[in-house]
Amino acid sequence: MRKIKACIFDLDGVIVDTAKYHYLAWKRLAQELGFDFTEEQNEALKGVSRTKSLEILLQIGGINICDEEKEKLAEKKNNWYVEYIKNMVPSEILKGAKEFLYELRKNNIKIALGSASKNSMLILNKLELVDCFDAIIDGNKVKNAKPDPEVFLLGAKQLGIPNNECVVFEDSKAGIEAALCGGMLAVGIGDKRVLDKANLVISSLSEMSMDKLQLLK
Ligand code: B16
Ligand code: MG
């Protein structure tokens, strides 16, 4: 049986729910552009890069603009989003996340962040979680978005652990695909029907333990 030596965590939807702040900022942008953007439509943006999220939003609004304009809009959205997340507090950490991170640390399991967000440092600082991670890989360090495995491969490399001894925790379908494609085990957080390819699906990190981790296959 393989022994798990490292865990790599997605941020949004696994450690914290920043999706609600992304939604507020995208909705504000949509309204400024003259159309509505529902919470249901926001589902398609989870785990997706900022640029790709804007493409989806513009498609919903039937808006066609040049790349330069797109860049301006993405920046505008991000400025609003940063304003919202500046007020985040540690009590917003999702159920069981901090406890599981501590348990891993106690058991000498290496820990990395593998997130698409370019704002991950700001978020981890607000949540007072920076010291929990041995490596932080985010949207500033990778070229290819999930389902490409780049973010997780870089995490494993930085931790110095072989890919097949790493477990990825993800809430998005694309993230699960990325982990499996990188030769890692994947634990889905959310709906079993959506994350059906994962090796295990749980509803929050409070369901995880060292025993469950080592029994994964
Ligand atoms: P930013 P994750 C992702 O974070 C979010 O789920 C996604 O909605 C967002 O568009 C993406 O980060 C980029 O975020 O605009 O802050 O760079 O789930 O990969 O932790
Ligand atoms: Mg996520």
Residue 149 is inside which H or E element, if any? none
- Indicate whether residue 116 lines ligand 1 (CB < 6 A): yes
pLDDT tens per residue, range 123-149: 999 999 999 999 999 999 999 999 999
The letter for the amino acid at 104 is L
pLDDT value for 132: 98
The confidence score (pLDDT) of residue 1 equals: 65
Average pLDDT, the chain: 96
Return the ligand 1 atom nearest residue 78 CA.
15
Whole-number Cα distances in Å, 83 to 9, 47, 64, 88, 125:
24, 20, 27, 10, 15
Examine the pLDDT at 170 and tell me if it is beyond 80. Answer: yes
Q: Is 148 a catalytic residue?
A: no
- The predicted-structure confidence for 182-198, as pLDDT tens digits, reads as follows 999 999 999 999 899 99
Alpha-carbon distance 137 to 198, whole Å? 21
Cα–Cα–Cα angle for 74, 138, 108, rounded to 5 degrees: 160
13 lines ligand 1 (CB under 6 A): yes
Residue extent(s) of CATH 1.10.150.240 domains in the chain? 19-85
**CATH 3.40.50.1000 domain range(s) in the chain:** 6-17+91-215
Q: Judge whether residue 80 has pLDDT over 70.
A: yes
Residues 159-180: what's their mean pLDDT?
A: 97
Show the tokens assigned to 209: 């333990």
DSSP annotation of 168 = E
Which residues have CB under 8 Å from 108's CB, separation 6+? Answer: none
Q: Using one digit for the tens of pLDDT, what is the confidence trace for 47-76? A: 889 999 999 999 999 999 999 999 999 999
What dihedral angle (degrees, nearest 10) is formed by the CA atoms of 210, 181, 42, 122? Answer: 60
List, for residues 203-217, the tens digit of each pLDDT value. 999 999 999 999 998
- Whole-model pTM above 0.75? yes
Q: How far apart are CA 12 and CA 85, in angstroms?
A: 12
- Grade residue 111 by pLDDT with cuts at 50, 70 and 90: very high
Residue 15 alpha carbon, nearest atom of ligand 1 = 20
**Which is the catalytic residue, given 10, 17, 148, 171?**
10
Q: What is the pLDDT of residue 2?
A: 75
CATH no. of 6-17+91-215: 3.40.50.1000
> In whole angstroms, what is the distance from residue 100 CA to residue 138 CA?
21
pLDDT band at 151 (very low <50, low <70, confident <90, very high): very high
**Would the CB of 10 count as within 6 Å of ligand 1?**
yes
Task: Over range 10-38, report the average pLDDT.
Answer: 97
- Candidates 1.10.150.240, 4.10.910.10, 3.40.50.620, 3.30.70.3270; CATH matching 19-85: 1.10.150.240
